[in-house]
Structure 1
Amino acid sequence: MDKNNGIDLRRRALAGALALGLAAPAAIAQAQPAYPSKPIRLVTPFPPGGAADTLARALGKSMNEATGTPVVVENRAGAGGTIGTATVAKAEPDGYTLLLGNVSTLATAPSLYAKLPYDPLRDFTPITLVGRSPLVFSVGPGVQAGTLPELVALAKSDPGKLNYGSSGAGSITHLTGELLNIAAEGSMVHVPYKGSAPVVMAMMSGELDVGVTQVAEMLQQYRAGQVRPLAITGTRRLDVVPQVPTAQELGVPNLEATTWYAVVAPQGLPPQVAQTLQAMMAKALDNPEFRKRYADEGLILESSSSEALAELMRKEVASWAEVVKRSGVRLD
């Protein structure tokens, strides 16, 4: 064989191999179906029937109606929501496993648990905020305070006499109650319950003086005149209870805390998949019927950019760490 011909053949073979190598990734990319091509699993780290579970199912239904993508809600409850949250943190970052987390799992948990099995700022790709729900401070019929400042003054006048109830130790209602207790110079005794329904019942019976709940959880009893809401957290009044002022209006500072919900995915999610998910969620949250349903319960649905959610999480982790430090609350 001619030497030059041999060199030429080797060059052609090498060029062909390089062409195949360059074409292979493109062919693989073209073979992959467009996202999403199968049902999305939305994990809620709380038991069935609660506020987070109900919201997850309503969101999944709205996403399916808005985009045609099936959404399967999976409950992975336990350890204050940290078990299900850790499960999603370790999942494949392919866009088919998401978490509907909240302020407890994504902001307060790092300060409450010494050995948290995930880092909310490191282990997740933020997708979108879902909604915010102010909390409400209510009292039972036997408490002689008509306003929040009067309640604070009453607590200060007789330390240890008044108690306040939350839905559980370390819950957002507990920590928000601690904010109120700081305003009352630590004079109220915390009583943890297993959920908000027992808190409302205890207020009605006179067993509990003050309850910290979401607005929807005491609406029925409020309308029946069985409990009295004194103030809500947050920065503005709610349309569902327009006559109830904010703590800020009443001159009691540092009570702007709210419960919020957000969708996140495992860290490492491809940017284009994150963008697709954010657009899908925004479309689902724009459903007028969906929005009205939750506005009537005190939850304001609100989508956001991934960047805005990341910034919210950073700020909330830092601010709740300070509250936990001042209150001394620990869960392990």
Structure 2
Amino acid sequence: MLRSRLKSTFNLRKMTSIPTVQKVIVIRETGGPEVLSYEENYPVPKISENELLIKNKYAGINFIETYFRKGIYPTEKPYVLGREASGEVVAKGSSVTKFDIGDKVAYLSPHTFAQYSKISETGPIMKLPADSSDENLKIYAGALLQALTALTFINEAYEVKKDDYILLYAAAGGAGLAFDQLLKLKGAHVIAVASTDEKLQLAKQYGAEYLINSQKDDILAKVLEYTDGKGVDAAFDSIGKDTFEITLAALKRKGTFVSFGNASGPVTPFPLARLSAKNIKIARPQLFGYIAAPEEWQHYSTELVRLIESHEFKALISKTYPLKDYRKATEEQEARKTVGKLVLEIP
């Protein structure tokens, strides 16, 4: 009983040292990069009895933030951007038992482009080794969302088999490089699409086998050339509207179309009857649908840690920006001037 009281007092002391306001990247309306606001007096979230408050060190940058900013995915305003981060537990609710103040963690949660974020202890959060370096924290912040997306999609959206031919767009981006590596580990033949030869060579280094330059090549013709006219077993398409017709044509009979992005805008509505000609299956998955149950999160997060620690999976953190420079980061990302993963360093 005494120990419990002392622990509660200790937690309270820790919490009283936490500021009431913080620095964040927030949107108050939808639009282009000009609607992004770096604010220094945004409220620090309050935690409930089963939640943790995390002081963020790094946050991963993902293309999905542009969908929230543009209004493709509606949100209440004001809205703090961000999907993933790493950092340290600085406060915890009275019912929390799995984590302690001072624990280093990596986690998935909205609103991580901020100095402080909160998450339930039963949410998608993993404890990292106590001696984790800043570099290790950066790797996990940069790998978590995209690597888990690739890991779940190639096992559940379409279960990739050895010798499958897989069409992959944006193959040199953060998600693309994750798919390259994990598809190669599955024994698949990756047909990579990217906008420059330099990006394609990077995709090849990470596991792609066949290369298509989207600015110079006929994507469909190349796919048919590489597959002896049969088409691919599955396609992972993060582009959306501009590539829908190409992807549909590139699939073989009984192929699977995994659509998971809107880089060029949402896919135009189409009649389902169009899938019948080749018995095509289509999926529109999102990561959180595969890790919603605690046992699912445990399975996939454990596998990701194994892949990272064994060096079977490598996260290419190509550039780190200060939090205040997120606008510059997203402008470069949207202009396709970046490769690999971009990360924000939180002050």
Structure with the largest fraction of strand: 2
> TM-score band, normalised by the shorter chain?
0.3 to 0.5
User: Which protein shows a greater Rg?
Assistant: 1
**Structure with more relative contact order (C-alpha pairs < 8 Å, separation 6 or more):** 1
What is the TM-score of this pair, normalised by structure 1?
Answer: 0.32
What is the TM-score of this pair, normalised by structure 2?
Answer: 0.31
Structure with the largest fraction of helix: 1
